[in-house]
Structure 1
Amino acid sequence: MNAPAHPAPLAPALAVLAAHGTSAVSDALDLIGQAGQIWGPRRVSGSGTVVGPVFTVAFEPAPEGRAAAADYIDEVPPGCVVLLAGNGPLCTVWGDILSEYARAHGVAGTVIDGLCRDVDRIRELSYSVWARGEFMRSGKNRVRMSATQVPVEVGGDALPTTVRPGDVVCADGSGVTVVPAGSVDDVAEQVSRIAAMEERVLAEVRAGSGLREARGKHGYNMAARVARSTVA
């Protein structure tokens, strides 16, 4: 098995997201009035928090049931998170060969607004993948790649979210969030503030305080109002 490429250090704002994970990022997005929680994909392999710029890949049903395999993985820069959208029919567009290549070339992880196969092998590789589920049916001649690095919509009707090149994905065991490119620093600042406040609440509780008292003392329930008043 090829060893993964050594990951480059994360930029400071991205390191903050990685340190605190999707729950804090989701709360921070709420505070600044931004959408970014991706409904559907759940972790199927890997561990820890994955953060990186998104590399979008759009799919569509194959015309007349014929389409070549999607060749894009060579173009994904190290440290990026691949996001596959618009899979169409019930089939997969990601498996073990792509995972082994991605891992060896320093790709941070893969998010699929659809299905994944070869999950046992991908888990052996310890490569991080999020998907709506597992299914072995190939996407060959069922879907085709229509574009890379274009805006894509994910989340379905339940919570439609547009992801654009330049946005930053943060994903862990709780799911997947995406931070708009122009909001990364603001979100990181809010994440740091939320994490510090929650640590103060926990410290009070560990010292014997009741949770209601600790939350009230440190403004747990007022945080959204305070943050929103500073935005715009």
Structure 2
Amino acid sequence: MSTQATLLTQFTALDTATVSDALDACGLPPGQGGLPPVWGRPKVAGFAVTVELEPLSGEHGGAHILTGAIAEAGPDDVIVVANGGRTDVSSWGGIVSAGAAVRSVRGVITDGACRDVGQARELGFPVFARAQVPVTARGRLRQKSTGEPIRLGDVTVSPGDVVLADEGGVVVVPRERATEVLQAAQRLADREAAIEADVRAGVPLPHAMRDARLAGTEEM
């Protein structure tokens, strides 16, 4: 297994809450909510392939949005779409889900609405979005950029950043600090597992969750 694939496997073993805490500990923006999976309970971790959309007002929109980015994406990638949180028009649909699934893309996170959820479900393709709406992007949106830094809510996503999404939210980990954040998250996960084990064994909650233990300043 490649180093990149191993990194993603290790992130996939975690949840977004734990990675968000690790981002906090590393002085980085934490995770965010409001981007739930639109079907099922998938978890995806991958390297960001970024696309930014913008309103189309009269002029021709050019090539169909998203198609070029999907054609270049692969099995370690997650498509991340910036559409300013708009929920009145779809920024992801069934045909692009099919195209991404064929490329073995891991999933999509769109800061906007999606449609054709049943098609994505049948494909087993994870979609995380602000909302669902049947309104087509055709004649309403055009692609502003691909492969450039974008905004996902309050966080900047650069191409190649690690993104992790599950039913709890979405986290963005700068690629150059991915190993640091991963190690911090793994330590936090071990600490929380030990605390939960104590609670289940009958240790009083105030003792199990004592400040020094939560801060990581005492031996487990």
TM-score with structure 2 setting the length: 0.89
Counterpart contact for 2:87–2:132, Cα < 8 Å: no
State the Cα distance separating 1:213 from its structure 2 match.
0.8
In 1, distance between residues paired with 2:170 and 2:87?
Answer: 23
In 2, distance between residues paired with 1:25 and 1:8?
Answer: 22
Aligned: 1:17 with 2:17: no
Counterpart contact for 2:111–2:129, Cα < 8 Å: yes
Tell me, which stretches of 5 or more residues in structure 2 are unaligned?
none
State the Cα distance separating 1:104 from its structure 2 match.
2.0
Once the two structures are overlaid, the 10-residue window that deviates more, 82-91 or 196-205, is 82-91
Q: Using a 3 Å threshold, how does the CA distance of structure 1 residues 181 and 10 change in structure 2: closer, same or farther?
A: closer
* Structure 1 letter corresponding to 2:6: P
Aligned: 1:109 with 2:107: yes
* Structure 2 letter corresponding to 1:44: V
Question: What is the count of residue pairs matched by the alignment?
Answer: 213
In 2, distance between residues paired with 1:27 and 1:140?
Answer: 39
Counterpart contact for 2:87–2:112, Cα < 8 Å: no
Identify, as 1 or 2, the structure richer in strand.
2
State the Cα distance separating 1:17 from its structure 2 match.
1.4
What corresponds to 1:230 in structure 2?
none
| Residue of 139, 143, 164 corresponding to 1:145 | 143
State the Cα distance separating 1:10 from its structure 2 match.
5.6
State the Cα distance separating 1:8 from its structure 2 match.
8.1
- Alpha carbon RMSD of aligned pairs, Å? 2.1
Once the two structures are overlaid, the 10-residue window that deviates more, 173-182 or 61-70, is 61-70
Counterpart contact for 1:47–1:126, Cα < 8 Å: no
Aligned: 1:168 with 2:170: no
Aligned: 1:32 with 2:30: no
CA deviations on 1:120-149 (whole Å, 9 max, x unpaired) are 221122210000000010011111001101
Counterpart contact for 1:91–1:115, Cα < 8 Å: yes
* Structure 1 letter corresponding to 2:140: R
In 2, distance between residues paired with 1:16 and 1:24?
Answer: 13
Counterpart contact for 2:87–2:130, Cα < 8 Å: no
Counterpart contact for 2:80–2:108, Cα < 8 Å: yes
Identity of aligned residues (%): 35
| Residue of 183, 200, 203 corresponding to 1:206 | 200
What corresponds to 1:100 in structure 2?
98
Counterpart contact for 1:45–1:126, Cα < 8 Å: no
What corresponds to 1:180 in structure 2?
174
TM-score with structure 1 setting the length: 0.84
